[in-house]
Amino acid sequence: MNSRLASSFRDPSGFMFTSGARLLRQINPIYQPHYEHLMASRLYDELAGAGLLVRHAEVDPKSVKAVGAYKVIEPERAPVITYPYEWSFSQLKDAALATLEAHRRALAHGMTLKDASAYNIQFINGRAVLIDTLSFEIAVEGRPWVAYRQFCQHFIAPLALMAHVDIRLGLLLREHIDGVPIDMAAKLLPRRTLLDFNLLAHIHAQAAASKRARGGAGAAADRRQHVSAQGMIALAKGLISAVKSFNWKPDLTRWADYYNQGDSYTSAGFEHKQKLVGEFLKESWAKTLLDLGANTGLYSRIAGGLDIFTLSTDSDPGAVELNYQEVVKRKTTNILPALIDLTNPSPALGWANAERDSFAERYSADCALALALIHHLAISNNVPLPAVAAFFASLSEWLIIEFVPKSDPKSQILLATRKDIFDGYTWEGFEAAFGETHKIQRAEPIADSERRLCLMRRK
C-alpha cells in the first residue's frame, strides 16, 4: 500500500511516497527532460560524488505500483529529519553554502536550482546534503534565478538577523514556513547594515523594490529582466561570499569550563559519570540515541565512539553551535546536533498541520539520555515527576537518567529565586514516579556526589 507524504505536494515534478518500509520518490513525465539532462550531463555524478546531492537508485515503477510515473527513485535515507529552525548558526550557514554550491555547479552543466528551500537540505553523515533530486531544471539563457527571493528568505534574512540582531531570531523560521519575509528582515536589521553591500542589495533594496513593484506593472517589469550566464555565475559567487561573511560566536567562557565546574562534580565524580554512561549504553544495546540537554555534546561523543547514532539536542543556541563546530572539526558522521527546547519542542506545522512533523514524530531512538536535566524540567518548568516519566516513556524503550537532588548546588541555584513548592521532588518521589512507567534496572550513586545515574527500561 503506497502512501504519499503529506509534505510533498508543492512541486508538480514528482512526490515522495512510502511503500511498505521504503521511502521512494515518483518522477512525473513533466520532469523527464530535466532528469535526463541531470543524469546525462553527469551533474548528478559530480554532485553526489562531492557529497552535495543525495544518492539514489532507480526502481521499476511497476514493482512499487506507481501510477503515471516516468520513473521512481529510492534516495539514500537521512537518519533523522531536522528542520532549519532546529539548526545552529553554522548549520544554517553550511546548508546555505551547500545550496549555492549545488546551484553554481548546476550552472556549469546548463542547469539551475528551481527552488532553494532550506527544507531541501538535511544533515547526512555530518554534512549538509541536498535531498531533493528534482530541484534541478534546464537553464534558460537570460532568465533570472527563479529561486533568488526564496534563497534570501530561507537563508540570507535569518542568518543576517542571527548575526546582527539576536541569535534567537533563527526561530522566526518556525513561524514563517517559507522563510523570513524580506520586508520584516529589513525592518529588524540595524541601520548600519545599509552600509554592507550584501545586506543593502539582498535585503534592503529587495524589500524596497518589492514594496514598489506590487501590482501588474511590477510583474511586467520583472518579466523584462535579463541576467546573462556570466551574471548568474557572478550572482551565485556573490551570494556565497555574502553567506561566508556572516559570523556569530557563542560566549566561549560560559561553555568552555561547563563540564569541569567544581560545584557539580569532583574530577573523580566526573570520570565516574562518564564511565557509567558508557557502561549503561553498552547494557542497553542501543543503536540509536536521543541525547536530551546535551550541552556541547561530551556524552554524545561517548555514544558516537560506541557506534551509536546520536541526535544531540539542547535548548541553548550557543551549546548547539559549539557541538556542531566540534562535529565538523572531528569529521564525526554519527552525531547530529539540534536545537530543541524540551519544554516547548517543535510542533507540527504547515498545511493541515502535516507539512512539517512535530519533533516527537520524527525520531524514534532505542535509548534516551537525560543527564543533569530532571531538575530543569521539574523545578524550573514545574512539570510533575509522573508527567516527566510518562513523556520519557513515549520517547524510547531505554532511558539513562541522572537524578539531581534538591540539595545539589545546581538545584539550589534554581530554587534561590523562587519558593520551594516541590515537596515531591525527592529520590523516593522520583523512584515512585518512574517505577510506574519503567523498570529501574540500575541506580548507581555518582562518586563524591549526591546524584544518581539510573538505567531504566520501559514497562
Partner 1 sequence: MKSRRNVSSRKSILSWVLGLLGLGALSTAYIDPGSGSFIIQAAVAAILGSVLLIRAFWKQIVAMFSRKPKSPEDETPPATPSG
What is the binding site for partner 1 (CB under 8 A)? 10-13, 30-31, 33-34, 36-37, 40-42, 110-111, 114-115, 134, 137-142, 144-150, 152, 182, 201-202, 205-206, 208-215, 218-219, 221-223, 225-228, 230-235, 237-238
Q: Phi, psi (5° rounding) for residue 46?
A: -65, -45
Tell the smallest beta-carbon distance from residue 145 to partner 1 (Å): 6
Residues in the chain: 459
Longest dimension (CA), the chain: 74
Tell the smallest beta-carbon distance from residue 234 to partner 1 (Å): 4
Nearest to 133 by CA among 267, 13, 253: 13
Closer to partner 1 at the Cβ: 106 or 159? Answer: 106
Closer to partner 1 at the Cβ: 222 or 257? Answer: 222
Tell the smallest beta-carbon distance from residue 159 to partner 1 (Å): 17
Closer to partner 1 at the Cβ: 38 or 276? Answer: 38
Closer to partner 1 at the Cβ: 134 or 399? Answer: 134
Closer to partner 1 at the Cβ: 241 or 353? Answer: 241
Contact 442, 280 (CB under 8 A): yes
DSSP secondary structure, 327-377, as one string: HHHHT-SSEEEEE--TTS----BSGGG-SB--HHHH--EEEEEESS-HHII
Rounded-to-integer distance, Cα 427 and Cα 37, Å:
64
Closer to partner 1 at the Cβ: 68 or 215? Answer: 215
Tell the smallest beta-carbon distance from residue 162 to partner 1 (Å): 22
Rounded-to-integer distance, Cα 74 and Cα 228, Å:
36
Q: Cβ contacts of residue 439 below 8 Å, gap of 6+?
A: 456, 457, 458, 459
Tell the smallest beta-carbon distance from residue 329 to partner 1 (Å): 32
81-84: Cβ within 8 A, 24+ apart: 81/122, 81/357, 81/362, 82/122, 82/123, 82/311, 82/336, 82/338, 82/362, 83/119, 83/173, 83/174, 83/346, 83/356, 84/118, 84/119, 84/121, 84/154, 84/158, 84/170, 84/173
Q: CA 125, 127, 129, 131 torsion: positive or negative?
A: positive
Tell the smallest beta-carbon distance from residue 307 to partner 1 (Å): 39
Tell the smallest beta-carbon distance from residue 208 to partner 1 (Å): 8
Tell the smallest beta-carbon distance from residue 399 to partner 1 (Å): 43
Look-up: residue for cell 528568505?
A: 153
Closer to partner 1 at the Cβ: 236 or 453? Answer: 236
Cell numbers found for residue 423:
515537596
Rounded-to-integer distance, Cα 79 and Cα 336, Å:
9
Rounded-to-integer distance, Cα 363 and Cα 249, Å:
29
Closer to partner 1 at the Cβ: 6 or 227? Answer: 227
Closer to partner 1 at the Cβ: 19 or 41? Answer: 41
Closer to partner 1 at the Cβ: 232 or 303? Answer: 232
Q: For the purposes of burial, counting CB atoms within 10 Å of the CB of 9, is it exposed (0-12), middle (13-18) or buried (19 or more)?
A: middle
Tell the smallest beta-carbon distance from residue 75 to partner 1 (Å): 18
Tell the smallest beta-carbon distance from residue 22 to partner 1 (Å): 25
